[in-house]
Amino acid sequence: MTDRARLLPQLGEVFRAHGYEGASLALISQATALGKGSLYHFFPGGKQQMAAEVLAEIDAWFEHNIFAPLRDDDDPARAIAAMLKGVDSYFRSGNRVCLVGVIALGHARDIFADAVNGYFARWQDALVSALRRTGQSPAMARKRSEDALLTIQGALVLARARDDAAIFTRALADLKARLLA
Amino acid sequence: MTDRARLLPQLGEVFRAHGYEGASLALISQATALGKGSLYHFFPGGKQQMAAEVLAEIDAWFEHNIFAPLRDDDDPARAIAAMLKGVDSYFRSGNRVCLVGVIALGHARDIFADAVNGYFARWQDALVSALRRTGQSPAMARKRSEDALLTIQGALVLARARDDAAIFTRALADLKARLLA
DNA sequence: GTCTATAAAGCGATAGAC
DNA sequence: GTCTATCGCTTTATAGAC
């Protein structure tokens, strides 16, 4: 179990860099310094199980570090600020791509549809909860939370497309102002 | 040449659906109802040439239907409205993914970096031109054009992730209000 | 738990008949 | 211009030694 915990982040980076279909076992074997035999020992379900567990771990990280504070923090504005700080850190200020977004755009979405949809659904619900507690109407909270998720994803795409991570940093700064307006 | 013109949109849909690495020649052969021999007759450079020509055709479509009007229309507000209408139509109201964005997120970005960057760069420049002519400051025009591109890409990602095309429609409506505010 | 060897299928690409 | 056959390589996955 502890070996697996060290493995998942490495797998995540391979899937991030090459996508689900592009992440070959040869690349994974190289990135983890583990033979195929060992990989199948940990993940009898092969590549699909690897990706599923990586997605689950990402989901758990966001649940603990972002979603839960958004839902539970006594100071919702602080939780929102912490979300943006956490997001900036997680995505390395625009230099790291969102694996859930990558999978959503590819053909692998069909396999991981529930995980992909659930991740964004729970993020949005948690953010709606925080925005509501700052006194915003349900409609406004819903609209702004959708704007937030979409802005983060779009900024990551554009930053990578233009090879300019500053796009992501600017987008997060603007987003903060819009969310708390 | 005329055969190639009928081929490129079919190739585009395969790359859209499966990404660059996921689009195998078998899939392409099936989608075009053409054997590998014929495909290599049209594209001696193989898959890479196919994707490059698809990207070039997409670029040409946007150049003609979106970028040029943004730069040249006497009524910039009309050109911006036409851009949003054209974008909604091109992306099938959120049911069609952006191939340039898909490639930008994947490992194939390394090969097509210039095409990907140029597409977004010229789009932004054209939109800046239109916004400037509506009387907005250079800084404001630049910021809002970046917001526009990022919103469109993010809305496409989120719409597909949540399997809800209405997200894209809502995002375009909001964007229109923001651009012309 | 890790490795090598190997199987079976699929990959991009080419050759050559028609 | 289109096809089939084929090459050489890579793919996922399994088997079995250690």
Tell me the average pLDDT across B140-163: 98
Position B4 scores a pLDDT of 87
- What are the chain B neighbours of A114 within 8 Å (beta carbons)? none
Local structure of B140: helix, strand or coil: helix
Which pLDDT belongs to residue A70? 98
| Å from the B7 CA to the D4 C1' | 22
Task: Please tell me which residue of chain B has the smallest CA distance to A118.
Answer: B162
Q: Is the pLDDT of residue B3 over 90?
A: no
Print burial letters for B89-101: b (CB count within 10 Å at least 16), e (below 16): eebeebebbbbbb
What pLDDT shows up at residue A121?
A: 99
- Residue A99's nearest CA partner among A143, A61, A140 is A61
- Supply the pLDDT for residue A3: 83
Q: Which of B13, B158, B168, B170 to mutate to test the interface with A (most CBs of A within 10 A)?
A: B158
CA distance B12 to B54: 6
Q: In a structure prediction context, what are the per-residue pLDDT tens digits for chain A, which is 181 residues long?
A: 668 899 999 999 999 999 999 999 999 999 999 999 999 999 999 999 999 999 999 999 999 999 999 999 999 999 999 999 999 999 999 999 999 999 999 999 999 999 999 999 999 999 999 999 999 999 999 999 999 999 999 999 999 999 999 999 999 999 999 999 9
Rounded to the nearest 5 percent, the helix, strand and coil shares of chain B are 85, 0, 15
Q: What is the pLDDT of residues B51-110, one digit of tens each?
A: 999 999 999 999 999 999 999 999 999 999 999 999 999 999 999 999 999 999 999 999
What is the average pLDDT across B130-149?
98
What's the pLDDT score for residue B173? 98
Q: Given a cut of 80, is residue B1 above it in pLDDT?
A: no
Report the C-alpha gap between A54 and B54 in whole angstroms: 33
User: Would the CB atoms of B149 and A147 count as touching at under 8 Å?
Assistant: no
The pLDDT of B139-155, averaged and rounded, is 98
Predicted pLDDT at A2: 63
Chain A residues touching residue B113 (CB < 8 angstroms): 163
Query: Domain ranges in chain B?
Result: 52-179
* Nearest-by-Cβ selection for B107 from A17, A116, A170: A17
